[in-house]
Amino acid sequence: MSSRILQELADSFFKLLLPGITVTIPLTVISFTIGLLIALATALVQIAKIPVLRQIARFYVWIIRGTPMIVQLFVVYFGMPSLGIVLPAFPSAVIVFSLSVGAYCSETVRAAIESVPKGQLEAGYCVGLTFWQTMYHVIIPQALRTAFPPLSNSLIGLVKDTSLAYSIAIVEILATAQRIAARTYDYFWLYCEAGLIYLLFCTVLTYLQRYFEKRLERRR
């Protein structure tokens, strides 16, 4: 590696880090938060066996899990304008990533809720709580402890999946690396540097995951 490349990588590091902080992280946090709410609602609808809604929830999970995320991005950003619905790139990415998180995490949440002994639900009925009250006060807090590790893994996966947003003209880490590489022709090193920044973000999340897992273990 020549001194020129080292200098170029040093100059481009913060140029890649900045969109990571201002685009990748907000896109991840917003999408994951909305996706978790969708996942919880989808899981509860299936567990409660609400007619029609249960079938809709299963259909939604089937569609999202069975199609590539990049195809979903193209459908929302490039396809929907033909139907008269035009969305900016960032909201389009939030919609697609949120729906993806919701579909995948709904199965995690559902399995975690079903892992709680059924006696907990019956105990809630005995003290006068409704199904939804028992879920909110008794079942879900216990289920989230079980679901925390796989949900954390989904969050880390989403950080890397946001790189797909470059395909709909969102200037995040990968898109920035591509623009710099197109000017300097040092594709290999710049893409490696972009990967290093993703690795940095994921490493921080991994340490946070371990920290909170230990705290949850102490509360049991």
This model's pTM is above 0.75: yes
Structural domain harbouring 169? 3-219
Q: Which pLDDT score, from 0 to 100, does residue 1 have? A: 61
pLDDT digits (tens, 9 = 90+) for 99-117: 999 999 999 998 888 888 8
Q: What is the mean pLDDT of residues 66-90?
A: 94
Residue 48 pLDDT exceeds 90: no
Task: For residues 156 and 127, give the distance between their C-alpha atoms in angstroms, rounded to a whole number.
Answer: 40
Structural domain count of the chain: 1
Task: For residues 119 and 108, give the distance between their C-alpha atoms in angstroms, rounded to a whole number.
Answer: 21
Give the single-character DSSP code of 116. Answer: S
Average pLDDT score over the chain = 89
How is residue 25 written in tokens? 């992280």
CATH number at residue 45: 1.10.3720.10
Q: Are 97 and 161 in contact (CB under 8 A)?
A: yes
Residue 91 pLDDT exceeds 90: yes
Phi, psi torsion values for 151, nearest 5 degrees: -65, -35
Q: Percent of the chain at pLDDT above 90? A: 56
Under DSSP, is residue 24 helix (H, G, I), strand (E, B) or coil?
helix
Which residues have C-beta within 8 Å of that of residue 216, sequence separation ≥ 6? 145, 148
Task: For residues 20 and 12, give the distance between their C-alpha atoms in angstroms, rounded to a whole number.
Answer: 13
Which residues have C-beta within 8 Å of that of residue 78, sequence separation ≥ 6? 168
